[in-house]
Chains A and B, each alone.
Chain A
């Protein structure tokens, strides 16, 4: 039922524009994530949706109903904070029952819902604990239960996993998604972690300086990044710039001032265009030194690092530039040692091109 629409929303703090002409549509029952670096306006957007801030321009609609002037207590949204924001002077039970109580709802019904929610977050055995006695993960689960007992159909989550340890973070991410889906809620989740966003979301909006760069499913955003910013933000990249020297047969060839030649089948651009060329670390492969020159770079292994399931290599090219390559262990025949002379290769469909005007 709850569908959220933002139309041309702008919010300024003094001189600073935190959110700039932002339009978004979040579908009913969707797990939606606002992803962006610090200062990209994602938390401000969330607070605007909650009614904790009012937009300077634009309008927010819940199910087609404009929300301007509706105070947060009447919006029926559940807000989950990075710092948990549990009332320290109430125990778990009182925290969870806070919403229905201040609304003056029937105590018997409240008790039932609260019990149900505590059970759902696996804390039915700790109703008398004070927030200070709980671990971070438990606190966040109480906060979630509290947001849900207030009858919210929209769940707003502001970096809900940010203050937790890595292991707990993964487990809670699964629980969050499960609960949202089981209860048929609409969730908007704010995070600066790409991995978290990709794991948990149906769709993602990538935010940059208060504006939306791209909206799509995790796979769409990863496979077809619309801007250089999105591409860079989503993972480790290698960036070059050069000029298109040939374009035919669905291939675009770019030559860089260093003399590298890249061939891309992703996009056709007229010869003479100034472009950025990007190759993802995980899209490149390492071979013994070859003589090939197109989509082939030569260098020496400078560093190698062990990531889970991957080896990450830092290759120093002959031009002293550095190139990062990540190879899945499952697929690599051998491990390259520091000092070895190697070639880096990548397929034309993995060479991304962006117009030069865009910069990071």
Chain B
């Protein structure tokens, strides 16, 4: 008997009902324990030690002496409020400058379109800590725009303004990408029909395209909002003395003030659950004035000159706010490579700091790169294995209303701020919870598995949805049992999709700061190292680490683009 016949025979056996039930059970168990368990169990943990939480947050005896028993509660409130304000402003700016860009990329053809398309993705390749650092150097230091304008220091100091600029830069590619896809999904013949019925382009957008993308636009905005709300790595670098809610979690955790950190994390989990619900049930009803017509005004807006102006502004915003600040770090590193460009002191240069200085930064960087890679590889591998059957479960099983619930559970790590998520893992696995694991490498791995899970399952689900079930039926009628169909037909069709999901998760893991910082022990990942070097003012060395990390991520993302383009 040939090996092939044997293989098919084994696969036939494994295609039985019992085995597939077992597989589904394991997949669900994985989701519950490794992904959504920790953030959900935080409510239980806070409730269990409510007395302690209450005391530290609302009635701290130390601060009560100066009549400020609820000092931490006030801080938490303020942090949350600021986070909300920042996220709102960021979302507004993003949509304002991202929508026209998405429209241009989706609907117009021009020379250099591919280049712009690639450049728009650039900030995605830059880990947020590095991005924050680059923006800080550009806007906030004398080496950046400040020096160019002849100022004594940076144009802006660290604080809310810089945070907003940073958040806009890192979320920009996500909003452009998702809006572009949504616009592309609108059948262009509808727009053609509207044109031939007498509507100038602007009217077409307002009365046809916009109404059809509004729920997508709303979803994109909410996602953008939650990302800004939860960002930690970049914010740590550009915040200065300013606190956002996720920074407070990091701060409390570092000061080992567990109860307020847990309390704040719980609030953040609740908020993100609420936003998630909003996302799922986002009402179709948010009004656009589509019944009215203003022919004269809109014809004016559709004019050639006006369109050129819009395009020019879209591109300038992109270049000035996103592109140059995000890539400024390269310029900085070149200038500071051999020594200070101002004094010529070689001891202040990146080369000396990294390779020659007595504090041995190079070995530290090396070992953190290895750690980063190990973590990312483990998280990605585990998630592909667990995510693939999950994607099939979501798409192919007739789950009914359960599907909505599972979708929401999968998305939880997407909206919970990573520092709060990380902290919940710390509680869940650590002494306060199951008491199985302390902070350290393995806990970092667990956290990374948790927050990259949706980044694997989401695209895989989309790929599975795109599979043609008839292709599998064809294979069945040609004599292949289900598992053989999976091996010979489904997997080859999904190759690119799986690779894309893997690279996405890998780069996300590589660039993550907030979640790592709250659960790490002695071993550091690169972004954490960058934050620490910036804090210790070894800026050129930090810049070197950033560029190295960017180079790695960029390579991975280029592979991703190649793979997707090839598809």
Contact = CB atoms under 8 A, between A and B. Distances in A.
Contacts of B296: 104
B197 A99 contact: yes
Interface stretch (A71-79, A293-301, A350-358): A71-79
B525 interface: no
Nearest to B211: A89
A99 B193 CA distance: 10
Interface stretch (B199-207, B329-337, B529-537): B199-207
Interface residues of A, number: 33
A79 B196 contact: yes
Contact of A98 (B189, B197, B200, B212): B197
A156 B195 CA distance: 13
A89 B212 CA distance: 7
B192 A85 contact: yes
A214 interface: no
Interface in A94-115: 94, 98-104
Interface residues of B, number: 24
Say whether chain B's binding surface is mostly helix, strand, loop, or mixed: helix
A103 B295 contact: yes
Given A81-B189, A87-B208, A103 B196 contact: no
Contact of B197 (A88, A102, A156): A102
A50 interface: yes
Contacts of B194: 87, 98, 102
A71 B187 contact: no
B193 A102 contact: no
B92 to A, nearest CB: 25
B373 to A, nearest CB: 42
Contact of B187 (A78, A79, A85, A150): A85
A286 B394 CA distance: 62
B293 interface: yes
A71 B196 contact: no
B197 A85 contact: no
A263 interface: no
Given A99-B197, A102-B199, A103-B198, A85 B190 contact: yes
A98 B189 CA distance: 15
Nearest to B197: A99
Interface in A254-285: none
Interface in B204-231: 207-208, 211-212
B294 interface: yes
A104 to B, nearest CB: 4
A20 interface: no
Interface in B268-302: 290-291, 293-296, 298
**The 10 residue pairs across chains A and B that have the minimum distance between CB atoms:** A104-B295, A99-B197, A79-B196, A85-B193, A72-B195, A102-B199, A85-B189, A150-B197, A103-B198, A89-B211
Given A83-B189, A85-B187, A152-B196, 20 more contacts: A50-B196, A51-B195, A52-B192, A52-B196, A73-B196, A73-B198, A74-B198, A75-B196, A78-B197, A87-B193, A87-B207, A89-B211, A99-B199, A101-B291, A102-B197, A102-B199, A102-B298, A103-B293, A146-B197, A150-B198
Interface of B: 187, 189-190, 192-200, 203, 207-208, 211-212, 290-291, 293-296, 298
